[in-house]
Amino acid sequence: MTAVGVRGVREVADAALGWIWAHRGAFALGEDALAVHGEVDRTWKPLGELAQVCATLTRRTDPADPLHGRAADLLAFAWRETDLGELFLTLQRQEPFATYPLEVYAAFAAGGLRHPGYETAAATVARTRGWRRTEQDPTRRLGVLCAERHGGIARPEPATAVLDGTWLGGLPEPWTFERASGYALTHVVFHLTDWGRAEEAGVPGRLTAYLAHWLPPWLDTCLEAGQWDLACELLAVAASVPGAAGPPLLQEAWRRIAAAQRPSGALPEEAAFEGEGFAYSYHSTLMAVFAAALTDHRYGGQGVLG
């Protein structure tokens, strides 16, 4: 089969973002978004993931690029869903020590959308001992530190100390890789590289060398298993960490992702999933756009994948 080149990667991104655009209404916040004990994973999480990916797309694409324009429109749509940031202030009052509002807000702030009132309120809470001693796993802690920086909150806690406690930071035996550790390692890289927006990759050399050895077989394992969502996250890591994967592997990986993508542009989370239900397609489709945009940004002008 013909390997998918840069043009093919771009086609994956265009089709995937087209599906996201057609289903943008499913990202809208309902009345349950502010409900006590509401299901955050069904309300704020999808909206925050949409904002996170679109903030990166607007940074990594040319303003004249149609992909840039559609991503900017989706980011603006998501911001309107938060009442231009006002709902974050409401959440702050309801759940002052919850970190998810700041984590979602940080995605918008990374895209240049800010709410000064919320940032002031969040900074006040962040000065408390209770906030600074919230117990979290190291990967989540790394994400909160990144969110704090976008929210204008300065914390003396060094990210390197947190990094050492993550699965990836410990340079584990490669055969211990499985689904949970896979998602943990991708998010460590996302936090270190500010979701692909940092000009210089913030991944330490020891981790870069480790990933250069082991990301290729992990990616191949996920592709063989039809784990498209995790495979796209690993492809995003490969595009963010120089030398993490070579052109032959990337060509084959993108060929498989392109083959798995539905005619509508949706990419199911796993090969076993039937249909195009939003809950089982939105994240993997977002990750396909995310990984494709980062890949195109890194290799588009070099002909490496062509």
Q: How far apart are CA 267 and CA 261, in angstroms?
A: 5
Helix (H, G, I), strand (E, B) or coil at 249: helix
At 12-44, the pLDDT tens digits run 999 999 999 999 999 999 989 998 888 999 999
At 259 the pLDDT is 95
At 101 the pLDDT is 97
Q: Would the pLDDT of 89 be above 60?
A: yes
At 6 the pLDDT is 60
- 55: how many CB neighbours lie within 10 A of its CB? 27
At 156 the pLDDT is 72
At 111-138, the pLDDT tens digits run 999 999 999 999 999 999 999 888 999 9
Location of structure tokens 């900074």:
123
At 1 the pLDDT is 29
At 63 the pLDDT is 95
At 267 the pLDDT is 97
The mean predicted confidence, pLDDT, of the chain is: 92
What is the phi/psi pair of residue 120, to 5°?
-65, -45
At 114 the pLDDT is 97
- Per-residue pLDDT band for 74 (boundaries 50, 70, 90) equals very high
DSSP for residue 2: P
At 301 the pLDDT is 52
At 78 the pLDDT is 98
Q: Would the pLDDT of 255 be above 90?
A: yes
Instruction: Give the residue-averaged pLDDT of 72-90.
Output: 98
- Per-residue pLDDT band for 2 (boundaries 50, 70, 90) equals very low
First to last CA, the chain: 14
At 155 the pLDDT is 79
270, 256 Cβ separation under 8 angstroms: no
At 302 the pLDDT is 52
- Per-residue pLDDT band for 149 (boundaries 50, 70, 90) equals very high
**In this structure, is the dihedral angle defined by the CA atoms of residues 271, 279, 23 and 236, taken in order, positive or negative?**
negative
Q: What is the DSSP string of the chain?
A: -PPP-HHHHHHHHHHHHHHHHHTGGGGS--GGGGSTT--GGGTHHHHHHHHHHHHHHHHHS-TTSHHHHHHHHHHHHHHHHTTTTHHHHHHHHH-TT-SHHHHHHHHHHHTT---HHHHHHHHHHHTSHHHHT----HHHHHHHHHHHHHTT----S-HHHHHTTSTGGG---GGG--HHHHHHHHHHHHHHTTTTT-SS----HHHHHHHHHHHHHHHHHHHHTT-HHHHHHHHHHHHHSTTSS-HHHHHHHHHHHHHHS-TTS---SSTT--S--GGGTHHHHHHHHHHHHHHHHHHTTTTS--
- Per-residue pLDDT band for 199 (boundaries 50, 70, 90) equals low
At 303 the pLDDT is 46
Q: Would the pLDDT of 4 be above 70?
A: no
- Looking at per-residue pLDDT, the higher value among 219 and 300 belongs to 219
**In this structure, is the dihedral angle defined by the CA atoms of residues 275, 279, 282 and 287, taken in order, positive or negative?**
negative
Instruction: Give the residue-averaged pLDDT of 76-80.
Output: 98
Of 240, 179, 176, give the one whose Cα is nearest residue 214. 176
Instruction: Give the residue-averaged pLDDT of 72-76.
Output: 98
Residue 215 to residues 67, 106, 269, 282, 290, Cα–Cα distance (Å): 28, 28, 19, 24, 18
